[in-house]
Structure 1
Amino acid sequence: MADKNLFLVVGAYGDPATADEDYKTLKSGESAGDYEIVGAVVMNRDADGKVQVSEHDTGKVKRGAGMGAGAGVVVGLFAPPLLAATAIGAGVGAVIGHFRKRHEEKELGVDVEEYLPAGSSAVVAIVDDKWADKVEAALVKADKRISKAIDSGDYDEMQKAIEKSEAEVGNAAAT
């Protein structure tokens, strides 16, 4: 990914059903060849602040260390504190402080309280910059939308950390 200019695109919603509809529209546009998506998830945050991440391609809800690497990268770049709350393992732990600091300095990610407050949902996607406007426009039912440049090196670093963490957790569970 180091050769791409990546954008984080976020659509915020008042309810999960509307977020799911826009996610399906987003994936339909990708299938039609309108744009390419590096990774995308639907995130739902309940009234208590607990977050569920759903990769609808597989139809599985991901929680904790079982979160797929692609979903983990999207969540981590959207809001490193959410990744820290859902991830286990030294691989993520070694890199999360770096991303949390950058997030707090507004250099990376998006304000989770603004785009995913308790009781709401969001569609979060990573795309090449040439597709950012089209992907943002595809989220037609979103209450709010934002596109923000991310560093592809950060994407690569986060992906490696999450893959390492998943391997460590898998190895620990197998013993």
Structure 2
Amino acid sequence: MAKPDAVFIYIGTYPSEAVARADYDIVKDLHAVGAVGTYDASVVTKDDGGKVHVNKDEMATRHGAWGGAAVGALIGLLFPPAIIGTAAVGAAAGGVSGHLWRGMSRADVKEFGELIDAGQAALVIVGESTLAQAVEKAGLKAEKEVAKQLDVSTKDIDKAVREAATELG
């Protein structure tokens, strides 16, 4: 049974960025109808040079209370900074990544990273535990997926995001 205040991570891989974006739109629609609480989601791609890009829809960023910090923090844990080709992973993600890191095992980090490496595109979602059931019912079209509930409080993530936003002005 999901802990009501736990953080849920979903990563699905797709044959193309377009298919990943279609599922991303489903997640936004789930949020719009109140099926999921606070979340952060992005489509992640790798270019021909091997750089990882976190692609945010600006409207979704405004709706997601974590504003890119949660996915950015997770990507920052999974990949070395040298191959991350986006500004989405930055200082704002620092405090958040510490909380996520404490909630994951090294095996989780390896599994998440390898899953993203395996696809042409990935949908990465970090959110409240209510997201788990909604994503399962939505029938997302990922070729491969992994979903984990972390023993991390969403309140801790919220606090870290607020502190980072204050520090950045």
- TM-based fold match above 0.5: yes
Q: Which amino acid aligns with 2:72?
A: V
- Rate the CA distance shift 1:159–1:127 in 2: closer, same or farther, 3 A: same
CA contact (8 A) 1:8 1:124 kept: yes
- C-alpha separation between the residues in 1 aligned to 2:93 and 2:141? 36
CA contact (8 A) 2:42 2:123 kept: yes
Aligned to 2:42: 41
SS state at 2:73 partner? helix
Q: Which amino acid aligns with 1:149?
A: Q
- C-alpha separation between the residues in 1 aligned to 2:132 and 2:96? 26
Give runs of aligned pairs for residues 110-149 of structure 1, distance below 5 A. Answer: 110-114=111-115, 116-117=116-117, 120-138=120-138, 140-149=140-149
Aligned to 1:56: 57
SS state at 2:117 partner? coil
- C-alpha separation between the residues in 1 aligned to 2:53 and 2:46? 6
CA contact (8 A) 1:11 1:146 kept: yes
Shift of 1:137: 3.9
Per-residue CA deviations over 1:73-95 (Å, capped at 9, x if unaligned) read 22323551448445455983x88
Q: Structure 1: where are the runs of 5+ without partners?
A: 61-67, 171-175
CA contact (8 A) 2:36 2:128 kept: no
Aligned to 1:16: 17
- C-alpha separation between the residues in 1 aligned to 2:102 and 2:163? 16
Shift of 1:142: 0.6
Kindly, what percent of the aligned residue pairs are identical?
26
Per-residue CA deviations over 1:36-84 (Å, capped at 9, x if unaligned) read 3421111111232212212224389xxxxxxx96313223235514484
Higher Cα radius of gyration: 1
Number of equivalences: 156
CA contact (8 A) 1:102 1:108 kept: no
- C-alpha separation between the residues in 2 aligned to 1:154 and 1:83? 24
- Rate the CA distance shift 1:14–1:98 in 2: closer, same or farther, 3 A: same
- Rate the CA distance shift 1:149–1:28 in 2: closer, same or farther, 3 A: same
CA contact (8 A) 2:11 2:145 kept: yes
CA contact (8 A) 2:92 2:165 kept: no
Give runs of aligned pairs for residues 19-34 of structure 1, distance below 5 A. Answer: 19-34=20-35
Q: Which amino acid aligns with 1:127?
A: G
- Rate the CA distance shift 1:98–1:35 in 2: closer, same or farther, 3 A: closer
Q: Structure 2: where are the runs of 5+ without partners?
A: none
- Rate the CA distance shift 1:71–1:13 in 2: closer, same or farther, 3 A: same
User: Aligned-pair RMSD on alpha carbons?
Assistant: 3.7
CA contact (8 A) 2:42 2:56 kept: yes
